[in-house]
Structure 1
Amino acid sequence: MAKFLYIYHGSGKMPTTEAERKAMMDAWTGWFGKLGSAVVDSGNPVGMSKTVLPGGKVENNGGSNPTGGYSVIEAKDIDDATSKAKDCPILMEPNCNVEIAPIINMMG
């Protein structure tokens, strides 16, 4: 099995009420439960990013496609990884997506 990085892109808005937070966590917990042992690292949300450009210039705009979080998932291939991502809770939100990239093991 290969490992894939799921990069969650979206609004970065966190639920404001306890009921909304619980519903969000239940959705993610349910999805990870459905994926089972394929979940290598369930990951975490991330904060606003900065980008360092050539010459040392720093942009503090969150990037052109802000990252909201990440996970590491095992799958047979990228098509399997893509199929596993289709039920991701972030996809219920407008303008959100899951970017999937194979993790290349450089250490053998």
Structure 2
Amino acid sequence: MPQFIFAYHGGKTPESEEEGAKVMDAWKNWMGSMGEALKIPGAPVGMSKTVSAGGIADNGGANPVSGYTVVEAADQDAACEMAKGCPMVVDGSGSVEVAEVIEMGM
């Protein structure tokens, strides 16, 4: 079964410990709901740098990645359905980019 990477964009920093606990519970519940389909829980990431032929930019790019997860699904549509439950999508603070991980024969 193919794997898909969820690249998270956006989100917001909780304003209190209580809000942080609620956010963490929402993520744990969502990830738990995926069961065996969750292959790599991933993690949040810090600000990125963009490396190109023109040099290195410190701006995080046009739409900085804020975290990632890897899941297994029958197809991209099924993976997108899973991504709809992401807490950032549900609360409107961010989005999830869903891309298939292509196996390379090396």
Quickly name the TM-score band, shorter chain normalised: over 0.9
The gaps in structure 1 that reach 5 residues or longer are: none
The root-mean-square deviation of aligned C-alpha atoms, in Å, is 1.4
Q: 1:1-108 residue pairs with structure 2 within 5 A?
A: 1-11=1-11, 13-55=12-54, 57-94=55-92, 96-107=94-105
Deviation, structure 1 residue 14:
1.9
Task: State TM-score, norm by structure 1.
Answer: 0.91
1:62 Cα offset (Å): 1.1
How far apart are residue 33 of structure 1 and its match? Answer: 1.0
Cα distance in 2 for partners of 1:95, 1:34 equals 21
Structure 1 letter corresponding to 2:2: A
Aligned residues: 106
C-alpha deviations, 1:6-38, integer Å up to 9, x for none? 000014x32131111110110000001111110
Q: Percent identity?
A: 46
The normalised TM-score by structure 2 is: 0.92
Q: Which runs of 4+ in 1 moved over 4 A?
A: none
1:107 aligned counterpart, secondary structure? coil
Q: Distance in 2 between matches of 1:75 and 1:8?
A: 18
